[in-house]
Amino acid sequence: MNGERHTYVLELILALRRQGWLWTEEYIWHKKNCYPGKWPNRFRDAWECCLQFNKTKKFKMFQDAVRVPMGGWAETRLKSLGKNDVVRFDSRVGSGFGKNIANWLDRDLAYPTNVLHLATETGNKNHSASFPLALPAWFIKLFTEEGDWVLDPFVGSGTTCEAAQNLARNSVGIDIKQEYVDLARSRLSSVKLTLFEPGEQYVANNGKSARRLHRSKHS
Ligand SMILES: C[S@@+](CC[C@H](N)C(=O)[O-])C[C@H]1O[C@@H](n2cnc3c(N)ncnc32)[C@H](O)[C@@H]1O
């Protein structure tokens, strides 16, 4: 914009921090299949940043839920461990998070980095800026448990809500445009919704709601 990059992301971070939010992490979504383009003064962006804010230092995080196969890295880097790799040491910034790469020698799964390599999805969802299902799915798995609530205040075509439902989370989507609310709703209508716990028996309660009768022995 006007010959330089926009600073709105930086300003957003500072504004939220002023409101008391902790800027906990920044993830990069690397768009693996980004198509080429040419601009006079820069190259095409092939990434977007995903900012994490929390209200408190302690928050739910299920790192095991997003572990990835060790892959070729285990075959190459781990087999030629250097002196620094086998000695635990604290990072230079004094974060207290030491590393001991040798600990990972016999493992099949590793924790991912904060760079997510995901292709954009080109399927027609009638929304120009929809993101791949795997993107919200990754964050939902990382930060929530089954039955938790997920809120997307910019729901667009409803990708976040679909990912949430696929993972047995509840979700709420909001959009300023009614057409996108309708689009998201229609996308979710094919998903099977379970109102009550399977295996339970219910009776009507004055026509208002249902009341659980008894717990099934088979549930
Ligand atoms: C980048 S799109 C989200 C796309 C979505 N992640 C998907 O996969 O389809 C952003 C959405 O935010 C909506 N939006 C923009 N400003 C808004 C506001 N002030 N309140 C609610 N929704 C807004 C836009 O209409 C648009 O659908």
The string of DSSP codes covering 188-211 is HTTSPP--S-TTEEEEEETTTEEE
Q: What is the pTM for the complete model shown?
A: 0.78
Q: Which two tokens stand for residue 152?
A: 């997307």
Probe target for ligand 1 pocket from 124, 125, 130, 155, with the most ligand atoms within 8 Å of CB: 155
Strand order in the sheet with 47-54: 47-54, 22-31, 115-118
> What pLDDT, on the 0 to 100 scale, is given for residue 187?
86
> What pLDDT, on the 0 to 100 scale, is given for residue 123?
66
Smallest CA separation from ligand 1 atom 26, residue: 156
> What pLDDT, on the 0 to 100 scale, is given for residue 18?
98
Residues within a 6 A CB radius of ligand 1: 127, 129-131, 153-154, 156-157, 159, 174-177, 180
Centre of ligand 1 from the C-alpha of residue 137, in Å:
18
> What pLDDT, on the 0 to 100 scale, is given for residue 159?
95
Centre of ligand 1 from the C-alpha of residue 123, in Å:
18
Element (H, E) at 152: strand 149-152
> What pLDDT, on the 0 to 100 scale, is given for residue 41?
87
Centre of ligand 1 from the C-alpha of residue 180, in Å:
8
pLDDT tens for the chain, residues 1 to 219: 788 899 999 999 999 999 999 999 999 999 988 878 888 888 989 999 999 999 999 999 999 999 998 876 666 666 666 666 655 555 555 555 556 666 776 778 989 999 999 988 766 567 777 789 999 999 999 999 999 999 999 999 999 999 999 999 999 999 999 999 999 999 886 655 555 666 666 666 554 544 554 443 333
Centre of ligand 1 from the C-alpha of residue 176, in Å:
7
